[in-house]
Structure 1
Amino acid sequence: MKISQITFTRFLAAIAIVIFHYGEGAFVYKIKYISEIFAKANIGVSYFFILSGFIMIVAYHSKEKINYFDFYRNRVARIYPLYVIGLLLYLFTRSQETAFSPIIAYLAGVQSWFPGKVLILNFPGWSISVEFFFYLIFPFLYNYIYSRKYKFIWITGIVIWIATQVFCNYFMLSGLYEGRFSKSHDFISYFPLLHINEFLIGNLAGIFFVKNCKHKNYDWAILFVFSLIVLSLLFVPLYYHDGLMAVFFVPLIVLISMNNGFLTRMMSLKPLEYLGEISYAIYIVHIPVLFILRSFLWDYFRIYDKTVIFSIYIPVLIIISGFFYQFIEKPCRDYLKKI
């Protein structure tokens, strides 16, 4: 089951993260309130985790059982080639020698398990490391839990989500948190077990969707939920990064998926759907592309203005990501699936 309109939302989340990482040179940081929203746009990663759990159920719900080998092969084919490209591009930007052990940790996809080492090399790769963990456990969850213990998974998923939110917000307000550049920050922000609630909640949303899907015009409901997201980011001082926004992301994903109104027709347009298709490439290469482009503009054109660089960076990033999608991601995915 393909949900075309939800694909475009991946692009919006990816671009929000790109702007967040670019920082104050992006034009949106000059607009009051809008800048406050993009200063917290790293919650786009949380959206990715929840959406990943949702899509996994939607993609496999018609199967009685998932074949482990086929599943892992397909996931590697989908994710790994560009994951490696992101690393190679990043290494290209480093003039100094890079240690061998971080490269091994990155290639093995285990960096998120080690506070202090999480953001090694192409640092957006930390979230792919977490996704690898989700993919590792999903076939077991689907084959032995979701198909047999329906009420149990709802209770367990919600309890895990609540426990994670209580723990994370307590941790951030306690003396255990030592600041942004500490191991405690790496633990609370990136450790896979603190993100498992997002994937599980996404799974539950997917189960609800496939059992209760009724296509109607939900345009106004979608806009209302989106408004709540904006207002919460502006005025609610809580820690959002470990799944708290699921209270809004889950209804947003479900409503968009069931919607047949104007917003769905617009988001299903082929150009917008294509932007969603290349969103993974945008996300995984946006840091090395920024480093390479910025160095090029500095050295050859003496362009140092952050706003000017940003206006060049975004279209260049989209074009390069489209190239990677067409000539690396898709061919590698098709080839690996045939093995």
Structure 2
Amino acid sequence: MKSLNIAYNPRIDQLRWLAALIVFLFHFHIEARGHGAPPLAGSWWGIVTEGQTGVGLFFTLSGFLFMQIAQHQKTIVYSDFLRNRILRIMPLFLVVFLLATSIGRDRFQPQDVLYLLTTNLGNSPTSASVVTGAAWCISLEFLFYLVFPFIARFTLEQGPRYLVRLLVLMLLFKLAAYGENGRSTLMYFSTFVGRFDQFLVGMLAATLYPRVQPWLERHAAWLAPLALFLAVANTALQARVAPFGDTHAPFWITWSLQESVVWAGVIVAWVSLRRALPGWLERALCHGGKVSFSFYLLHAAVIHTLGRTFGLPALTGNAAADTVLLGILVYALTWAIATLSYRTVEEPFLRMRRSYGVAEGVPRSSM
């Protein structure tokens, strides 16, 4: 997805594709297991069995990209920034929210409309159904948008140390909150306390990146695979020590910070990669990134609907092979539906965006 505020970098879209793929594999695995698919034994499958880590990549990548824009533009016009963010996420998010309230028609209460801004908390209509459950993180992302222009300004004024101070505060909040919530894992997973530091780590990575960019570009050919391996190893560690099903593990106090630092390594290594992938693969991954928002919000609906309708078909007679083949088919269908959704719901509103920054030395009459 091309921004009006900074030069397009296809590597960012490719990372969006990766994040959406990881979350897809996570939810497909859960659905397939419910229909008799064989389990993925061993912690090294953590990138799938703990695939919620894809959300951590999304949050970290958002912080990285927006801070890069802030560094480029120097000044962000708050009203224009929010206008662009609303045009970017609200049309499809509202469609999914209305779908959720339709599914829960018989349980609907008027105050449920207020959950539009807090889908990550309480008994949000979107959380009552697998079909719309992935929307939990969108209101949290929008919260980050609300405060980002201020944090970016203070960071440009004070440097990376400002973000470090915020990260220290967030760690203190995590420590204080642990003993106050008996389901702390879910708290760290889905709230400001557990996720804001990931956005901040992405911002910090963007502020430090220019200092090491030449070195990263010289060595990205081996750094990118190494960073991806470390991300896989990190999820293997989580799967072994404190998987998501553990509702109150001390490991989760620092998990989101550790997770985002590893993903930040993947981000800076991948965006530094100057060696082109095969043309067809570049185009495919960039398209996957372009439609990743639709893919993310709709993939659970596709997976669950097909699973409920067809279960796990015996395509070959081998359960493992059947699961892999079915995963490929479901992924392809989700890709097609996401493309349809992007072109129908997202793209018309995206054409209404405008630049929200003021590059250094360029006056703006409305400021």
TM-score by length of 1: 0.81
Indicate conservation of the 8 Å contact 2:163/2:200, yes or no.
no
Matched ranges for 1:194-273 at <5 A = 194-210=194-210, 212-214=212-214, 215-235=217-237, 237=241, 238-239=251-252, 242-261=256-275, 269-273=282-286
Indicate conservation of the 8 Å contact 2:63/2:199, yes or no.
yes
- Counterpart for residue 148 of structure 2: 138
The Cα shift of 1:234 comes to 2.1
The verdict on how the C-alpha distance between 1:311 and 1:273 changes in structure 2, with shifts beyond 3 A counting, is: closer
Kindly indicate whether residue 68 of structure 2 is the aligned counterpart of residue 58 of structure 1. yes
- Counterpart for residue 104 of structure 1: 113
The verdict on how the C-alpha distance between 1:155 and 1:235 changes in structure 2, with shifts beyond 3 A counting, is: closer
Name whichever of 17-26 and 280-289 sits farther off.
17-26
Indicate conservation of the 8 Å contact 1:194/1:242, yes or no.
yes
Letter in 2 for 1:111: T
Instruction: Tell me the alpha carbon deviations over residues 242-290 of structure 1, each in whole angstroms, 9 at most, x when there is no partner.
Output: 332123111211111122135x667971121111111111111122233
Question: C-alpha separation between the residues in 2 aligned to 1:34 and 1:106?
Answer: 37
Give identity over the alignment, percent: 21
Indicate conservation of the 8 Å contact 1:5/1:268, yes or no.
no
The verdict on how the C-alpha distance between 1:29 and 1:177 changes in structure 2, with shifts beyond 3 A counting, is: farther
Question: C-alpha separation between the residues in 2 aligned to 1:28 and 1:250?
Answer: 33
Name whichever of 204-213 and 61-70 sits farther off.
204-213
Question: C-alpha separation between the residues in 1 aligned to 2:196 and 2:237?
Answer: 26
Structure 2 residue runs of 5 or longer lacking an equivalent are: 1-6, 242-250, 356-367
Question: C-alpha separation between the residues in 2 aligned to 1:167 and 1:265?
Answer: 49
- Counterpart for residue 23 of structure 2: 17
The Cα shift of 1:309 comes to 5.3
Question: C-alpha separation between the residues in 1 aligned to 2:160 and 2:345?
Answer: 42
Equivalences, count: 321
Matched ranges for 1:125-204 at <5 A = 125-143=135-153, 145-160=154-169, 162-163=171-172, 171=178, 178-179=182-183, 184-204=184-204
Name whichever of 16-25 and 151-160 sits farther off.
151-160
The verdict on how the C-alpha distance between 1:75 and 1:156 changes in structure 2, with shifts beyond 3 A counting, is: same
Indicate conservation of the 8 Å contact 1:282/1:317, yes or no.
yes
Q: Which one of the candidate residues 10, 14, 20 is aligned to 1:8? A: 14
Name whichever of 287-296 and 59-68 sits farther off.
287-296
Indicate conservation of the 8 Å contact 1:157/1:201, yes or no.
no
Kindly indicate whether residue 352 of structure 2 is the aligned counterpart of residue 335 of structure 1. yes
Question: C-alpha separation between the residues in 2 aligned to 1:150 and 1:287?
Answer: 40
Question: C-alpha separation between the residues in 1 aligned to 2:236 and 2:133?
Answer: 27
Q: Aligned to 1:253, what secondary structure does the other structure show?
A: helix
The Cα shift of 1:31 comes to 5.8
Letter in 2 for 1:256: W
Indicate conservation of the 8 Å contact 2:67/2:203, yes or no.
yes
Q: Aligned to 2:127, what secondary structure does the other structure show?
A: coil
Q: Aligned to 1:148, what secondary structure does the other structure show?
A: helix
Indicate conservation of the 8 Å contact 1:89/1:289, yes or no.
no
Instruction: Tell me the alpha carbon deviations over residues 52-74 of structure 1, each in whole angstroms, 9 at most, x when there is no partner.
Output: 00010122322232111110010
The Cα shift of 1:30 comes to 4.0
Indicate conservation of the 8 Å contact 1:115/1:187, yes or no.
no
The Cα shift of 1:12 comes to 1.7
Structure 1 residue runs of 5 or longer lacking an equivalent are: none
Indicate conservation of the 8 Å contact 2:170/2:193, yes or no.
no
Question: C-alpha separation between the residues in 2 aligned to 1:79 and 1:268?
Answer: 27
Question: C-alpha separation between the residues in 2 aligned to 1:28 and 1:337?
Answer: 49
Indicate conservation of the 8 Å contact 2:227/2:269, yes or no.
no
